[in-house]
Amino acid sequence: MNGKKIIARNRKAKFEYELHEIFEAGIELKGTEIKSIRAGQVSLSESYVRTNGRQAWLVGAHIAPYDQASVFNHDPERERRLLLHKREIKTLWDGVRLKGMTIVPIRLYLRDGLAKLEIALAKGKRQFDKRQSIKKRDMARDVERAMDQRRKGKDV
């Protein structure tokens, strides 16, 4: 991934949601937050994106306090403004308001020294859909194992 260093992933996002449209957003951070992000002390597991049609915020993401900052540290759970184009915010707002979708963060990474957040317009999966995803994943794993065993048999 040319110039990207992945810091955190929301592993549950693809399992819990059906992802439709993906966007890349910048994040408005404080000085101690970027230092914690570079150290990899971030969790996106319980986070989501909230918008009002004009701005978007990352809510519930945990960026650990930076140890060397002492008094000048940040609040680890604060809302952080996302930097998106107006048309992207409008697309997200319409998806949430009209289509009943939600906006989930997928991963946080550094690109050229700047923190970027990949977010997706998503629709929640039903229990049946989740079972289907598990079934497909298990079948693909079984096929891969069979292919590996077949390759090892021919190589030996």
Half-sphere exposure of 19 (CA within 13 A, CB side): 15
Q: Where are the domains of the chain?
A: 4-125, 126-156
Half-sphere exposure of 56 (CA within 13 A, CB side): 30
How much is the pLDDT for 154?
64
pLDDT band for position 1 (50/70/90)? Answer: very low
Q: What is the mean pLDDT of the chain?
A: 89
User: Encoding tokens for residue 51?
Assistant: 């918008």
What are the tens digits of pLDDT across the range 106-144?
999 999 989 999 999 999 888 777 888 888 889 999 999
Instruction: Kindly give, in sequence order, each residue whose CB lies less than 8 Å from that of residue 96, ignoring residues fewer than 6 positions away.
Output: 51, 102, 103, 121
Q: Would you identify the CATH topology of the domain 4-125?
A: Small Protein B; Chain: A; (2.40.280)
pLDDT tens digits for range 27-42: 999 888 998 999 999 9
